[in-house]
Amino acid sequence: MPCVQPGRFSLSQPVDSEGNKQRVVYLDNAETTRLDPAVLDLVEEFMIDKYGVPAGEFGYKLEEEAGEAIEQARETIARKINASPEEVIFTSGGTESSNIAILGAARSNYYKGKRLITSKIEHTSILRIVDKLTTQGFEKTQLDVDRQGFVDPSSLKANLENARLMSVQHANQEIGTLQDVAAIGEIARNSGVLFHCDAVQSFAKERIDVQTMKVDLLSMSSHLIHGPKGVGALYVRDGVKLEPILEGDGREKGLRPGTPNVAGIVGFAKAAELLTDEDALRMRRLRDELIGSLLAVPDSRLNGPKGDRRLCNNVNVSFRFVEGEAILMHLDLKGLVVNSGSACYSQKLEPSHVIRAIGGTLEESHSSTRLSLSKWTTKEDLVYATETVKQVVETLRAHSPLARRAYQRK
């Protein structure tokens, strides 16, 4: 049995110069999450005690255990999205899943056209895969989104000619917009275009049904739902042909060869099981409270939609007259960990492509501040977050020439 000592999971608290423990509120769960202790137990079990890997038909006990565990995990993941287990393959994470899906579809299905369709607000990794393919004879079409980040499904119809695949995400990583995947899937299915959906942000948090959504390929990730890093899954609808991007043994239907990350896979499924509808509901309520209290800051603006069409754990607000990196540095000093779409915060000095695509000004993109909740986020955490954000925005505005001029005018 794994040896789990009590207390080994407590977050080590940072200490300030006077030796006082500093409060840390982590609200960057769209970047990554802390592992669930119950998942760690299982991961440890499959690393220390049941460390085999599934082999051929006749294996030792160790190998059988591993094989069974993986198949069980496959069932769990499949159930979460209403797929059958044979349609789920395990990968090293969301990026690999999307690479297998898009590159794999591009290198197969030669009877289809050469156009790849995405929205303008896809995750950078998706946009890069597609960009890469444009150097190999493919054309790309990037669909506009509206002020809330929604793709107009009817805009797809105008771009179907010669299309091979469309890749439209379920939930946006920055502003939490939940696309009408079913409407997009309907159009794709009717026109014979493959439909890949990046569900890395929404998997296990929002309801996903690959049948009603008419998805052909769907990317999922473990580390955003309190599972281990370095593991994810790809749904490949029965009958969809993909060319593998890695060559090796025939594991995972030949699409993801190599020794499987057994402990990671088992941990991933456990994490998916442990994230419940009640968790999502609680996050949704807390999210709306946080949005309400942050919008009470003058000259603030919510990025992304309100209500049911917003990812349950995402909040993104822009504060006028102040710059995002400075906000983040101050918040960090106060133990509040969030994220920003600021150009100065990105190492490439480029402002958020998402805020720009929804028609936000450069000023709005520089100060866009994302706070993303986890199933463990409490009301107290959010009270602290709100107070801290208010304070920091006020401090920076006090020295901002833009704020002074605007408030003098009023």
Partner 1 sequence: MAMSETLAKKFGYSEKVMDHFKNPRNVGVMEDADVTSKVGSVACGDLIKLYLKFDPDRDQIKDIKFESYGCAANIATSSMMTEMVKGKTIEEARKVTFKDISETLGGLPRIKLHCAVLSRQGLETAFLKYEAKRGRVKMDEPFVNKILRGVLDPVQGVDIISAKILQGTKIEGNKITLDLKAKPDSELAESLTEDIHDAFEGLDVDLDLRFKE
| Site stretch for partner 1 (CB under 8 A), options 83-91, 130-138, 301-309, 394-402 | 394-402
- Strand-pair partners of 26: 337
User: CA-to-CA distance for 315 and 331, rounded, in angstroms?
Assistant: 16
Under the binding rule (CB under 8 A), the answer on residue 407 touching partner 1 is no
Measure the CA–CA gap between 136 and 284, rounded to whole angstroms. Answer: 43
* Residue whose structure tokens are 């499949």: 78
Q: Is 243 in the site for partner 1 (CB under 8 A)?
A: no
Distance of closest approach, residue 349 Cβ to partner 1, in angstroms: 6
| Minimum CB distance to partner 1, residue 378 (Å) | 18
Instruction: Tell me how far the alpha carbon of residue 338 is from its chain's centroid.
Output: 15
Among 3, 197, 312, 344, the one annotated catalytic = 344
Q: Which of 131, 361, 383, 394 binds partner 1 (CB under 8 A)?
A: 361
Options 9, 211, 329, 379; binder of partner 1; rule CB under 8 A: 329
323 binds partner 1 (CB under 8 A): yes
Residue from 241, 285, 379, 404 in contact with partner 1 (CB under 8 A): 404
Q: How far apart are CA 70 and CA 255, in angstroms?
A: 16
| Spatial CB neighbours of 263, under 8 Å, sequence gap ≥ 6 | 42, 43, 44, 45, 46, 47, 228
Candidates 56-64, 133-141, 172-180, 399-407: pick the segment binding partner 1 (CB under 8 A).
399-407
In 186-270, DSSP assigns E strands to 194-198, 217-221, 232-236
**325, 353, 383, 394: which one contacts partner 1 (CB under 8 A)?**
325
At closest approach, how far in Å is the CB of 297 from partner 1? 17
**Number of residues binding to partner 1, judged by CB under 8 A:** 35
Residue with the two structure tokens 């009640």: 278
User: Taking CB under 8 A as the rule, does residue 10 contact partner 1?
Assistant: no
- 402 burial (CB, 10 Å; 0-12 / 13-18 / 19+) is middle
Q: Which of 53, 245, 295, 343 binds partner 1 (CB under 8 A)?
A: 343
88 makes contact with partner 1 (CB under 8 A):
no
- Return the residue of 59, 113, 298, 335 that touches partner 1, per CB under 8 A: 335
- Between 115 and 370, CB nearer to partner 1: 370
Q: How many CB atoms within 10 Å of residue 246?
A: 12
State phi, psi for 309 to the nearest 5 degrees: -95, 20
Interface with partner 1, residue 384, by CB under 8 A: no
Structure tokens at 73: 């995990």
Nearer to partner 1, 268 or 321 (CB): 321
Q: Is 344 considered catalytic here?
A: yes
Candidate list 256, 267, 324, 357; residue touching partner 1; CB under 8 A: 324
Alpha helices in 199-357 (DSSP H): 262-274, 277-294, 324-333, 353-357
Nearer to partner 1, 157 or 399 (CB): 399
Taking CB under 8 A as the criterion, the residue among 294, 328, 382, 393 binding partner 1 is: 328
Q: How many Å apart are CA 267 and CA 261, to the nearest integer?
A: 10
Q: Are strands 139-143 and 314-319 parallel, antiparallel or unpaired?
A: unpaired
22 binds partner 1, rule: CB under 8 A = yes
Q: How far is the CB of 33 from partner 1 (least distance, A)?
A: 17
Q: Where are the alpha helices (DSSP H) in 19-108?
A: 37-44, 61-80, 94-106
Do residues 206 and 69 make contact, with C-beta atoms less than 8 angstroms apart? no
Residue from 53, 337, 383, 406 touching partner 1 (CB under 8 A): that is: 337
202 to 29, 177, 232: CA distances (angstroms):
12, 10, 13
The yes or no reply on residue 245 touching partner 1 (CB under 8 A) is: no
Q: How far apart are CA 188 and CA 201, in angstroms?
A: 22
Catalytic positions, please?
Answer: 344
* Interface contacts to partner 1, rule CB under 8 A: 12, 14-17, 22, 24, 321-326, 328-329, 332-333, 335, 337, 342-345, 347, 349, 351, 361-363, 366, 399-402, 404
